[in-house]
Amino acid sequence: MITVQTHHGFYCVKFEPFERSDFFTITDAHVAKLYPNLRVDLILEPGESSKDFVHYQQVIAALADARVQRKSTVVALGGGVIGDLVGFAAATYMRGIRFIQVPTTLLAQVDSSVGGKVGIDLPQGKNLVGAFYPPCEVIVDTRFIQSLPLREFRCGLAEVLKYGLILDQELWNQLIASPLTALSTELSSVIERCIRLKADVVESDEFETKGERAKLNFGHTVGHAIEVRTGYEKYTHGEAISLGMVAESWIAEKMGIAKRGLSEAIQTGLVQNGLPVRGLLGGNPSDLVQSMKLDKKSENGTLVMSLVTDIGTCELVKDVPESVVVEVLSEMSDDAGM
């Protein structure tokens, strides 16, 4: 059993069944079907489209109908979509009630359940409505990973690889030398390592005001814009982030921040792990840049990105030139000029 205790919560890589007394558990239809022995109170449609106002309202109404009280606990059982949506409902229902995350995807275990960011999307952009609302507890059971479809496993791998690229060269080298699978004996230790890496960053800059936490966003400025422009349907979150990491490492090279060949090396590693490095990006590069300006890191309409300078290190860069971004997107897109 592995435990990581931080003031943001308690992470344990062992399943501790919780007493179902004053708990209200919310999941999605895939998880409910796969784990019928876990009692749940509300089942939502799976997918990013549930992270919107309509489903937020549905959750809040269900809590009120069930007479959930201030001292009750809401349990988010599922991937990042359920965690973000249910966490936001918990943050706002009765001005905030206890909530526990039980992440069931690799992405949610290594990333979204850690650090307290909760929220929903707007048509204009991802996660534009939300809060910092740390769960009281995060219960990580790696057995959930066994039922993940390969595509969803790879989606989580994108964030695992990201940790290697921005913070941990040894982790990146390990993942390239021996790609992780759901059956790898290293699965739990890699998950724990990622949780520790993220927890350390969050501890140093919980509310993303010091420039440290924003570094976790490598690949996300471009990736989020791709998700918005492709209607959240063409790519999983991790696939969009993979494309974003390719674009942003290339941008770093063109800006002279990263040494030549870094993007190529990153692309090789991503391809090896079944992730996309080229494709339809959702339209004209200039339109993607407009979406990027709604990114929360953007300052006065300029682009701010977390850029990898070498494997294992990154820096937050302001005033990224739009012309460089457009050039890179044009080169890697199958739909440039559309």
Residues within the interface to ligand GLY (CB under 6 A): 111, 115, 117, 213, 216-217
Nearest-5° Cα angle at 85, 82 to 86:
75
Question: Residues 231-250 vs ligand NAD: string with x where CB under 6 A?
Answer: -----xx-------------
30 binds, among ligand NAD, ligand GLY, none (CB under 5 to 8 A by kind): ligand NAD
User: H/E/C letters for each residue in 148-198?
Assistant: CCHHHHHHHHHHHHHHHHHHCHHHHHHHHHCCCCCCCCCHHHHHHHHHHHH
Measured distance CA(75)–CA(101) in Å, rounded = 6
For position 215 contacting ligand NAD by CB under 6 A, the verdict is no
Measured distance CA(36)–CA(320) in Å, rounded = 49
Applying CB under 6 A, among 76, 155, 201, 228 the residue interacting with ligand NAD is 155
Gyration radius of the chain's alpha carbons: 19
Clarify whether 162 is annotated catalytic.
Answer: no
Backbone torsion region of residue 321, taken as left when φ is above 0, otherwise alpha when ψ lies between -120 and 50, otherwise beta? beta
For position 262 contacting ligand NAD by CB under 6 A, the verdict is no
Measured distance CA(142)–CA(153) in Å, rounded = 12
Question: Residues 86-105 vs ligand NAD: string with x where CB under 6 A?
Answer: ------------------xx
> In terms of CB distance, is 76 or 332 closer to ligand NAD?
76
Question: Residues 67-86 vs ligand NAD: string with x where CB under 6 A?
Answer: -----------xxxxx-x--
Catalytically annotated residue among 117, 126, 154, 297: 117
144 binds, among ligand GLY, ligand NAD, none (CB under 5 to 8 A by kind): ligand NAD
Structural tokens at position 82: 């359920």
For position 112 contacting ligand NAD by CB under 6 A, the verdict is yes
Clarify whether 208 is annotated catalytic.
Answer: yes
> Which residues partner with 137 through β-bridges?
100
Amino acid at 124: Q
What residue has token string 């339209």?
A: 283
What are the residue numbers of the active site?
A: 95, 117, 159, 198, 208, 213, 217, 220, 224, 237
Binding stretches for ligand NAD (CB under 6 A): 28, 30-31, 34, 46-48, 51, 78-82, 84, 104-105, 107-108, 111-112, 115, 117, 126-127, 144, 147-148, 152, 155, 236-237
